[in-house]
Amino acid sequence: MRIRGALLLAFCLLLPQAGRTEEGKSPAERFRAAGELVRKGDLLKGIASYRELAEGGTESASLYWNWAQAASAQGEVGEALWAALRARELDPGDGALSREIQRLREAANLDSAEIAPDPLAVLARQARRFHLGALALLLSAASVGARLLARLLPRRPEFGPLAWAAFALACLLGALPLAGSMARPTAVVVRRGAPLFDSASPTASPMGALRLGEVVPVVERSGGFLRVEDSSGARGWARAEEVWPLDQPPTSVTP
């Protein structure tokens, strides 16, 4: 909760420096106005405001947290789960997000595996959370430095093993984000009974339905359709407005 509060404060303090909209309101002002709409019970307009901000490039974990809360209050569990998962992509270390995701998963009656179909995606998040790429670079630099000291100070033999140890640890830590980068893109089913089609065409025949809130790997994209794979291994095409990718803001998931 403290992390989310700090993010919200930073969001509101920094965004007034951004350009104002045609209505003369900064993104921070629009963010606060959206929150006020939600507090007053106008969930549809509040969510629409959050979406406009995200589409315009104003993303933050706080924005998606608020979006998730508003969507959940509206009964849109799939959309709420997508927003919470998107927030976690931006802030992998927020424990409150993890708890909220578990609550929404249970509300959608999904197994843990159905919202985490690719273990490499978990690895990628942890690599971002602990800045493993930066640590690998620092250890590589330390290895080079220790190697130079070993040559300059031959009477200090401890620098040789230290250099090799730093190099080995740098390789190990560097391999984790590299492996995580190989994770398949995923998307969340945000509409109950979203059909799975046999082709990426408006006239295609449905061959099944996806579960609300399920996270599915994205195999291919074509226009307004995504080719996905459900938890049973079945592949088909789903409408982009019903299955929202997690690797980007909602700009390209609208119809």
CATH 2.40.37.10 fits 2-109, yes or no: no
pLDDT tens for 95-150 read 999 999 999 999 999 998 899 888 888 888 888 888 899 999 999 999 998 889 88
| CA 27 – CA 24 distance, rounded (Å) | 10
Instruction: Give yes or no for residue 41 having a pLDDT over 70.
Output: yes
Model confidence, pTM: 0.81
Q: Which residue has the higher pLDDT, 152 or 68?
A: 68
What is the per-residue pLDDT for 127? Answer: 87
CA angle 122, 123, 126 (to 5 degrees): 90
Q: What residues does each domain of the chain span? A: 2-109, 126-180, 186-253
What average pLDDT is seen over the chain?
A: 87
pLDDT of 6-31, one tens digit each?
Answer: 544 454 544 444 444 445 789 999 99
Does the CA dihedral 208-214-219-224 come out positive or negative?
positive
Q: In what order do the strands lie in the sheet with 235-239?
A: 206-209, 195-197, 235-239, 225-229, 215-222, 186-189, 243-245
What pLDDT does 68 receive?
97
CA distance 174 to 123: 12
Helix (H, G, I), strand (E, B) or coil at 183: coil
Predicted local distance difference test score (pLDDT) of residue 158: 81
228: nearest Cα among 187, 193, 191, 190? 187
CATH architecture entry for 186-253: Roll (2.30)
- pLDDT value for 17: 44
Locate tokens 């901000």: which residue? 53
